[in-house]
Structure 1
Amino acid sequence: MMVDSGISSFKLYLTYQYKLSDDEILQAMRHLQRAGALTTVHPENDAAIAQRRRNLSTPVKPHRAITP
């Protein structure tokens, strides 16, 4: 197990291509709890993000386009 190797925290995603289903999240949280790991959750919402992006008056520039 990764926890035995020193990796003691894990991040679960609710958005982007890494998102998990509700069932997968609950299973992962139970498994990680039993292993003694810390679990964090990235709780953004794809639909809400897409809606906000469509409503922006100025197109969003990626970070690499505005930094040297």
Structure 2
Amino acid sequence: MATKVPSLEKVVEQIQDLIKNEQDSINTLLHRLQLLQVYFINKDTILILNLIINNQKLKKLSLL
């Protein structure tokens, strides 16, 4: 019973397809991570602004 060996070109093509699929997967994950980064940066900015506003309100109250 003989086993059929694929040509070198076919093997290279399959490896290139696997690499491309991995690159696509990595790019998708990277994009998701970048979106999370933006979300957390925006969330922190909002929290800091709220702290500043609340601090200013407290200062005004203490002056009265």
Question: TM-score, normalising length from structure 2?
Answer: 0.28
Structure with the higher fraction of residues in helix conformation: 2
Question: TM-score, normalising length from structure 1?
Answer: 0.27
Specify which structure has the bigger relative contact order, considering alpha-carbon pairs within 8 angstroms and separated by 6 or more residues: 1
Structure with the higher fraction of residues in strand conformation: 1
